[in-house]
Structure 1
Amino acid sequence: MTQVLHIVGGGMAGSEAAWQAAEMGVDVIIHEMRPTVSTFAHQTGNLAEMVCSNSFRSDDDEQNAVGLLHWEMRAANGLIMTTADAHRLPAGGALAVDRDPFAETVTAKLRAHPRVSITDQEVTSLPDDGHWIFATGPLTSPALGEAIRAETGSDALAFFDAIAPIVYADSIDMSKAWMQSRYDKGETEEERTAYLNCPMGRDQYEAFIDALLAAEKTEFHEGETAGYFDGCLPIEVMAERGRETLRHGPMKPVGLTNPHAPDVKPHAVVQLRRDNALGTLFNIVGFQTKMKYGAQTDVFRMIPGLENASFARLGGIHRNTFINSPTLLDAQMRLKSKPNIRFAGQITGVEGYVESAAMGLLAGRMAASEIQGRDLPEVPKDSAMGALIHHITGGAEAKTFQPMNVNFGLFRPVDGLKGGRRGRKDRYKAYTDRAKTEWQTWLDQC
């Protein structure tokens, strides 16, 4: 009898898990409740819909841990990365994606795969038999979240994510704004002009901070406490930490020259990044927010160049669910109390599109190998994949476990290299060289 792999959730992790398992010869059913059951953040029923941002962050595979993760996923024929490359937008050294065609292509490729079928059935319980991967992500449905809580015997952990607004390009005043990447970074003119910049003088910045702090915010439900992932803080929360916080964060004015006033150094700069290939939409970089909609339009139109901005989407905030993976999962990402079930993606406590897809890639390969009765070699700890999975399945301190991006702090030291800031470039290059060798050797053995 043919054994089927069931994957619950069709986001980054679920889509990648399905692709990897199907490519290994295993029949897969993706259970994606959308569009029958909608969520706060999603707008379509497509698989791998990008919600919070359209960026996969740095693509530097020699000096950046997430860029190294990109490289490892490409080497493993990852669906998410190959599709992202096909729908790439200019973004300097980052990998930004034309989000709608990206999701449409992922959906089309999975629907066309002879070993993949997709159903919009909502799964609300944890099955006792069969092979399952739960990759429901941060927006796990309430019913399934309750089933997970009941099985694990503890409250579901959670943090909050905020979404940045998107502006129509033709509503931006280009007599005040200009196109330039910081420090003119990029190999082509398109990359060197990947960002749209809106400058602020000191008085404009101070007035903007005052408005942020005074704006009406979305309130949490009774009993909820707001813990945020530091990589996705609402701008008003950053402003509450100090009036200069934004000016040293997403609004830093460095590496930019305003061609409208080249002799005037801006006190702060708001950057927007192209959100689609047509260049008709731009998202405001780092401007995640929990302000109410009316307040958003008033506050964001204080930004020079955005006085008459029209918004394709306003920002918002949503609750993210994740489990205490170091306590609950084994090294194969299986739920210890129900080994027929694996978890993958952001619900495991990794943070970011790339990290979520990477854990889906591993879960899909692990589940397919188990179904086929094959032993999969241990994921090398010195690869980016290995560093990340080791962190969530035992390397992290369970009592203080929080969502984590991939970073070189998760990697074992490289012998023979001196530490400290002076040796950082050499150290990172040593990490990535070692990781690439280990990862390719692992792939050759699989």
Structure 2
Amino acid sequence: MCSASVPPQSVTVIGGGLAGSEAAWQLARRGHTVRLHEMRPVNSTPAHRTAWLAELVCSNSLGSDVPESPGGLLKEELRRMKSLVMEAAEESAVPAGRALAVDRELFARFVSERLAAHPLVTILREEVATLPEEPAVIATGPLTSPAFAACLRESAGGFLAFYDAVAPVVTAESVDADTVYRASRWGQGEDYLNCPLDREAYERFLSALLAAERAPRKDFEQDPRYFEGCLPVEVLAERGPDTLRYGPMRPVGLPDPRTGREPYAVVQLRQDNREGTLYNLVGFQTNLRWGEQERVFRLIPGLEKAEFVRLGVMHRNIYVNAPLALDSSLRLRGREALFLAGQLVGVEGYVESTAMGLVAAVNCAAFLAGSPFPHWPEETAIGALLHYLGSALPGNFQPMNCNLGIFPPLPKRIRGRTERCGAVATRAREAIALFLEKQGALFP
């Protein structure tokens, strides 16, 4: 069996992404000595570009920050539990309307520096190829190294996989200011640059996108399973001529101030760094060849002379079949103090991964203290995610983000989505407040 020794009374955390960084922070806050292993920059991945901990690779957006939205509720719960990732997000936030978006470099640097400065955290830049002896939190993420993945697969009974793609980034100064206009949907500020397309421009772009050459797949990528929430734009386009207009290019709520009318379609650009010099193409994850990306995306009005500083890539994400491989405390079945965290457990999204890092750390701390594991209320955002992981059908399990559908039904049916979200949010806040009050010392 794959194994490696761990110093007594310490916790090993493997993986320095969002979940691993959050887990290390939460364990250290509770007085535990943490050895945080991160293989970068010794070994890199197809998606990462730096050696910072908690590097964001797909997007700089952490999703909705509307208090009554499922994503907003999840962020609120993490803030209440003193999440390092949420603190970093607040310190590095950039304008993004009703979403929470960050300057990637400032965000990752903040997390890295806070962990490096903590007296109970030791950061080890090396690849781990074997499962540690207990206790440990495994948060190697969707791009787990082949050696460690092979060892984990042996204990977890295999992996499932889906494919994630990264959206391109352009320089702000290369965007045609005479063509684009500033606006957030439904008049909620002016945080986005909007590239308007009339019908002719849209159809020209769509034809070029569908005909563009894609990057070749490796042997393990011959039968891709995409996550529905992060489909490559070219895959969306294949589903019908109007799919993009009802998806990432929907113009609803974005009238052009110069005409007072909504365009036929819109490509939104979201600020990617605090200085506002970089913008990413919202919803334009792609696996086109790099040369094709520049050719096709420059057909978008306003991007004719765009300077692309990052081009899209697609990479495979791995995750365990949580209903079979994990118990209700995120422990690997058969290993009583080996906790999994992050996207590896079968959640999708930056904040969801962070939440699972926090949960794994808290559960590990309870185990070390000989205390009962906390029962996360299903009415809360975190509890709803955990319930999904444990109750989903194993035969068709795929990653899930925080959404209204995973919360338990309300006692009384409410038809309107806004009112329903409000009622779910009120119930969730009451549940998390009572939960934290009862847990006491486990949540300092």
1:70–1:265 CA distance, 2 compared to 1 (3 A): closer
How far apart are the structure 1 equivalents of 2:157 and 2:262?
Answer: 56
Secondary structure of the structure 2 residue equivalent to 1:252: coil
Give the secondary-structure state (helix, strand or coil) at the position aligned to 1:303: coil
Task: Give, in angstroms, the shift of residue 2 of structure 1.
Answer: 5.0
Partner of 2:138: 134
Instruction: Output the amino acid matched with 1:144.
Output: F
Equivalent residue, structure 2, for 1:229: 227
- After superposition, where does 1:126-205 map in structure 2 within 5 Å? 126-127=131-132, 129-154=133-158, 156-185=159-188, 192-205=189-202
Counterpart residue number, 1:188: none
Cα-Cα RMSD? 1.3
1:426 and 2:419 aligned? yes
The equivalent of 1:118 in structure 2 is 123
Once residues 254 and 418 of structure 1 are traced to their aligned partners in structure 2, the CA distance between those partners, rounded to angstroms, is 28
Code of the aligned partner of 1:405: N
Number of the residue aligned with 1:85:
90
Residue 264 of structure 1: CA displacement? 5.6
Q: How far apart, in 2, do the equivalents of 1:377 and 1:269 lie? A: 46
Q: Which residue of 1 aligns with 2:38?
A: 32
Instruction: List per-residue Cα deviations over 1:66-96 (Å, max 9, x = no partner).
Output: 1100000000001111110111111111111
Q: 1-side partners of 2:358 and 2:32: how far apart?
A: 14
Q: Structure 1: how far apart are the matches of 2:392 and 2:413?
A: 25
Could you say what secondary structure the match of 1:251 adopts?
A: coil
- Number of the residue aligned with 2:405: 409
What's the offset of the Cα at 1:222?
3.0
Inter-CA distance 418–263: structure 2 relative to 1 (3 Å threshold): closer
Corresponding residue to 1:359 among 346, 356, 360:
356
Letter of the 2:255 counterpart: T
- What's the offset of the Cα at 1:381? 1.7
1:206-239 per-position Cα deviation (integer Å, ceiling 9, x unaligned)? 1101100110101222353111001111111011
Provide the rounded CA distance (Å) in 1 between the counterparts of 2:157 and 2:357.
Answer: 25
- Letter matched to residue 418 of structure 1: R
Q: Specify the alignment match of 1:256 in structure 2.
A: 254
Give the letter aligned to residue 150 of structure 2: E
Q: Which moved more, 1:143-152 or 1:228-237?
A: 143-152
CA distance in 1 between partners of 2:261 and 2:127 (Å): 56
Larger deviation, residues 219-228 vs 233-242:
219-228
TM-score between both structures, scaled by the size of structure 2: 0.95
The residue matched to 1:138 in structure 2 has which SS?
Answer: coil
Any gaps of 5 or more consecutive residues in structure 1?
Answer: 186-191
In structure 2, how many angstroms separate the alpha carbons of the residues matched to 1:426 and 1:122?
A: 49
Shift of 1:265: 4.2
Give the aligned partner of residue 189 of structure 1. Answer: none
CA contact (8 A) 1:220 1:226 kept: no
- Distance, in Å, in 2 between the alignment partners of 1:323 and 1:373 is 27
Q: Secondary structure at the match of 2:123?
A: strand
2:243 to 245, 268, 274: 245
Equivalent residues, number: 432
Residue 350 of structure 1, CA deviation = 0.2
Letter in 1 for 2:326: L
Is residue 9 of structure 1 aligned with residue 12 of structure 2? no
CA distance change for structure 1 residues 69 and 264 in 2, over 3 Å: closer, same or farther?
closer
Structure 2: segments with no counterpart, 5+ residues: 1-6
CA contact (8 A) 1:75 1:440 kept: no
Question: Once the two structures are superposed, what CA deviation does each residue of 1:343-399 show, in whole Å capped at 9, x if it has no partner?
Answer: 00001100000000000001011112211223343112211111111211x211111
Q: Which residue of 2 aligns with 1:104?
A: 109
SS of aligned partner of 1:331? coil
Q: Give the aligned partner of residue 435 of structure 2.
A: 442
The letter for the 2-side match of 1:399 is: G
Same amino acid, percent of matched pairs: 50
Partner Cα separation in structure 1 for residue 215 and residue 151 of structure 2: 28
Paired position in structure 2 for 1:288 = 285
| Greater Cα offset, 366-375 or 281-290 | 366-375
TM-score, length-scaled by structure 1: 0.94
Contact persistence 1:5–1:368 (CA under 8 A): no
In structure 1, distance between residues paired with 2:284 and 2:433: 38
